[in-house]
Amino acid sequence: MTVKQATPAPEPVAKSGAQILVDSLEAQGVDIIFGYPGGAIMPVYDVLPKSNLTHILGRHEQGCGMAAIGYARATGKVGTCLATSGPGATNLVTSIADAFLDSVPVVFITGQVTSDLMGTDAFQEVDIFGITLPVVKHSYIARDPADIPGMVAEAYFIAAEGRPGPVLIDLPKDVANAMTTERHRWRPYPKVKPEMGESAEIAQAEKLIREAKKPLLYIGGGIAQGDGVTELRDLIERTKIPSVSTLKGLGALPSDHPDFLGMLGMHGLKAANYAVQECDLLIVAGARFDDRATGKLDTFAPHAKVIHMDIDRAEINKLRKVDVGLEGSLKKNLNALNPGDLDIEDWRTLCFDRRTEHEWDYNAPGTGVYAPKLLHDLSRRAPESAIFTCDVGQHQMWVAQHCYFDDPKDHITSGGLGTMGFGVPAGLGAKIGCPDRTVITVSGDGSIMMNIQELATLNRYGIPLKIVLLDNSALGMVRQWQEVFFDKNYSEVNLDDNPDFAKVAEAFQIEGFTVRTRDEVDAGIDRLLEAKGPILMHVKIDPNENVWPLVPPGRSNADMMER
- Alpha-carbon distance of 459 to 440, in angstroms, equals 16
Q: Is-catalytic flag, 357?
A: no
- Alpha-carbon distance of 245 to 251, in angstroms, equals 9
- Alpha-carbon distance of 325 to 307, in angstroms, equals 6
Q: Is-catalytic flag, 225?
A: no
Residue 251's Cβ-count burial label (10 Å; 0-12, 13-18, 19+) is buried
Q: Is-catalytic flag, 486?
A: no
Whether 215 and 341 have beta carbons less than 8 Å apart is answered as no
Residue 530's Cβ-count burial label (10 Å; 0-12, 13-18, 19+) is exposed
Q: Among candidates 423, 412, 465, which has minimal Cα distance to 446?
A: 423
Query: Which of the following is catalytic: 28, 124, 204, 453?
Result: 124
- Residue 187: left if φ>0, alpha if ψ -120 to 50, beta else—which one? beta
- Alpha-carbon distance of 453 to 508, in angstroms, equals 9
SS3 state at 356 = helix
Alpha carbon of residue 56 to chain centroid: 20
Angstrom CA distances, 449 to 118, 205, 350, 432, 469, stand at 35, 48, 45, 22, 11
- Residue 325: left if φ>0, alpha if ψ -120 to 50, beta else—which one? beta
Query: Which of the following is catalytic: 15, 77, 173, 270?
Result: 173
Q: Is-catalytic flag, 207?
A: no
State how beta strands 32-35 and 54-57 pair. parallel
Dihedrals phi, psi of 372, to nearest 5 degrees: -55, -40
Whether 137 and 143 have beta carbons less than 8 Å apart is answered as no
Query: Which of the following is catalytic: 477, 482, 508, 545?
Result: 477
Helix (H) or strand (E) holding 398: helix 394-402
Dihedrals phi, psi of 215, to nearest 5 degrees: -75, 150
Q: Among candidates 426, 457, 453, which has minimal Cα distance to 442?
A: 426
Task: State the catalytic residues.
Answer: 61, 123-124, 173, 477
